Amino acid sequence: MPQVRVIADDGAQLGIMSTWDALSLARDRGVDLIEVSPNAVPPVCRLDDYGRLRYEQNKKDREARKKAHNMELREVKLRPKIEEHDYQVKFRTAERLLFDGDKVKVTIMFRGREIAYAQNGRRILERVAADTAKFANVEREPRLEGRNMFMILSPKQDAVAAHQGHKEGSSPRKAAAPTQAAAPAPATPPPANAAPAQPQKS
């Protein structure tokens, strides 16, 4: 490339110059000549510290990997004749997993002749879908496989982000223990051989 368009490290446009002149300018300034747009005509280069730019980019990549959540498929199992209290416990478990950013497989397990009333299991799954509609989508509709009926929920990312932001913003404070008045020290009894106190004359 005989000519390049050069940008200074502060963003100033230095114009088009020969590659040799651009390299000489970078050497004089103690920086590197970094190609940022090779497909432009002419190619665009920037005067900057290549080592520092690589360090900052690697740092951003590490932070992005830390924040990235590997979505897993977790499972919550229910019975077709589940009691209301047990349903609430299972629902809160599914809610927590979804807010953690994981998918949830909700499974209804049938035993014996319960399979003849599969519609009861479907009604439970439809209730779970309705109860989680604000923060989850039904990724796979209820389906029967063998003696189990299941559906898969996936979290709504905006709801998860809002929930995690609220959780990080609220820092619980430890309540101070109520202060108690100091109990008066017990009176020290006089020695057994002490003489009784004499009344003073006024």
Order of strands across the sheet that contains 103-109: 73-78, 103-109, 148-155, 136-145
Which DSSP helix (H) or strand (E) runs through 126?
Answer: helix 118-131
- Does residue 195 sit within a domain? no
Local confidence band at 44 (pLDDT 50, 70, 90 cut-offs): very high
Find the range with the poorest average confidence among 17-21, 95-99, 197-201. 197-201
pLDDT of residue 142: 93
User: Is the torsion defined by CA of 125, 127, 128, 133 positive or negative?
Assistant: positive
Q: Per-residue pLDDT for 178 more than 90?
A: no
The string of pLDDT tens digits covering residues 45-57 is 999 888 888 888 8
The stretch 164-177 carries a mean pLDDT of 52
42: preceding bond cis by omega (within 30 degrees) = yes
| Confidence (pLDDT) at 169 | 56
Spell 152-181 as b/e; 16+ CB within 10 A means b: bbbbbeeebeebeeeeeeeeeeeeeeeeee
Domain membership flag for residue 28: yes
Domain shared by 106 and 48, yes or no: no
In the chain, the N- to C-terminal Cα span, in Å, equals 118
Residue 113, domain extent: 73-160
Spatial contact of 143 and 108, defined as CB atoms under 8 Å apart = no
Rg of the Cα trace of the chain? 36
Tell me the residue type at 194: A
The domain that holds 23 is classified in CATH as 3.10.20.80
pLDDT for the residue 180: 42
Residues 100 and 26 occupy one common structural domain: no
Average pLDDT over residues 100-108: 93
CA–CA separation, 192 vs 180, rounded Å? 35
Does a structural domain hold residue 106? yes
Instruction: Kindly state whether residue 192 falls inside one of the protein's structural domains.
Output: no
Q: What is the pLDDT of residue 181?
A: 39
pTM over 0.75: no
Residue 167 lies inside a defined structural domain of this protein: no
**111-169 residue pLDDT tens:** 988 888 899 999 999 999 999 999 999 999 999 998 999 999 999 988 888 877 766 55
pLDDT band at 1 (very low <50, low <70, confident <90, very high): low
pLDDT in tens, 59-101: 887 777 666 556 789 999 999 999 999 999 999 999 999 998 8
Sign of CA dihedral 89, 94, 95, 97: positive
Query: Is the domain of 87 the same as that of 17?
Result: no
Number of domains in the chain: 2
Question: Which two structure tokens, joined as six digits, stand for 4?
Answer: 């390049």
Range scoring the smallest mean pLDDT among 30-39, 151-160, 191-200: 191-200
- CA dist 146 and 167 (Å) reads 40
The 3-state DSSP class for residue 14 equals: strand
Does 193 fall in a domain? no
Distance CA 124, CA 106 (A): 10
Q: What 8-state DSSP symbol labels residue 174? A: P
